[in-house]
Amino acid sequence: MVRLTSRHDTTIVLVGDTKVGKSALLAKFRSGKFDSSYSKTNLESVTTSSIVQGQRVKFTIYDTSGKY
């Protein structure tokens, strides 16, 4: 049995130039599949949680457009 002592929130922001694969990286993380097709992104976020060293960690990942 895993004992959860506390919960931590972590925010990850994917930044980089346009068309470098930020959304593909997020899709790989989400579904385990790599998508090589390109689709324009404005701002997308995914929230998930996992147990890391006995503590629940909530991850919020933001995918940015790359044009800012």
pLDDT at 2 over 70: no
Token pair recorded at residue 61? 């990942």
Give the whole-angstrom CA distance, residue 61 versus residue 64: 10
Taking only the tens place, the pLDDT of each residue in 11-65 is 999 888 888 888 888 888 778 887 777 777 778 888 888 888 888 899 898 988 8
